[in-house]
Every structure is written in C-alpha cells, then in structure tokens.
Amino acid sequence: MKKKDTNNDLEKLEQEKRGKRIRDIRENELHMNKTELAKEIGISSQFLGLVEDGKGNLVYRSLKKLRNLSGHSADYILYGLDDDSINKTKELLQNYSEEEIIETLNFIKHFVMLIRNI
C-alpha cells in the first residue's frame, strides 16, 4: 500500500471517530436531536448527519460553538484527547509563571537528551 493511501485511510478513520464523538456528545450529554444541535452550531441537520457519519468536518465557527455548548475542549472533539488530563494540567500550572513553565520544559528537554545519550 502506498504511503498516500495509508495517510488517507488514517484520515478517514480519524474522521469517523470524530463523528462518533460528536454523535455521542449530542445524544448522551446534550440530549439533543440532530435538528436542535445543528441549529445551535449554525449548520443544517443534513450536514450534521454527514459529520456524524464521518463524511464531513465542522468548520471553526461550528466547532467553537459545539465546544462552548458541550464544555469539551476542541482537542477532545477533534482528536479524542482526554479533557480531564488537559484540565488537571491547566490547574496544576496556573500557580506558575510563564517563565517558570518555560524553564521547566527546557530542563525536561535537556534531561531527555541526556538520558538518550547514556
């Protein structure tokens, strides 16, 4: 299989997973039908059906509205990344200045490079 075909297959699979996450949010968390959610995020219910079936993608404006409505991060909606981990990390880091965070990240980067060279 060609690399381009593999990338297309992976993109299609991710699009299908994204659609399932959006359907799950709509049905199990927001308790809305397609028409209600579509109206809230500014698209047609037919297009929302395509998105949920993995055959379409939300534009930024609609994704932002879904994010605000559901309380999920865009990272969760788009990629399935754990909201709890992101929120816990934000909570832990809020007590530190940007300089402290950057300094720590640089330390970790150097530490990893040191370990690789051992």
The domain that holds 33 is classified in CATH as 1.10.260.40
Q: Which domain holds residue 24?
A: 1-81
97 shares a domain with 54: no
* H-type alpha helices, 56-97: 60-70, 74-79, 83-93
CB neighbours of residue 4 within 10 Å: 8
Task: Looking at the structure, tell me whether residues 27 and 8 fall in a common domain.
Answer: yes
Higher pLDDT, 92 or 66: 66
Say yes or no to pLDDT of 1 above 70.
Answer: no
Supply 70's token pair. 């559901």
Q: What is the average per-residue pLDDT within 21-26?
A: 98
H-helix or E-strand containing 108? helix 98-116
pLDDT, tens digit (0-9, with 9 covering 90-100), for 68-78: 999 999 999 99
Q: Is 0.75 surpassed by the pTM of this model?
A: no
38-54 pLDDT per residue, tens = 999 999 999 999 999 99
- Domain shared by 64 and 116, yes or no: no
Instruction: Give the pLDDT score at 29.
Output: 97
Read off the tokens for 12: 């299609």
Examine the domain organization and report whether 13 and 30 are in the same domain: yes
My answer on whether 87 and 75 are in the same domain is: no
CA-based nearest residue to 70, from 43, 31, 15, 19: 31
Cα–Cα distance list, 33 to 36, 38, 39, 101, 118 (Å) = 5, 9, 10, 43, 57
Give the integer Cα–Cα distance in Å for 74 and 57. 13
> Are 6 and 45 within one domain?
yes
What does the alpha-carbon distance between residue 3 and residue 31 come to, in Å, rounded to a whole number? 40
Do residues 105 and 63 share a domain? no
Residues 103 and 67 placed together within one structural domain of the fold? no
Give the orientation angle of helix 3-24 with respect to helix 45-52, to 10 degrees: 120
Number of domains forming the structure of the chain: 2
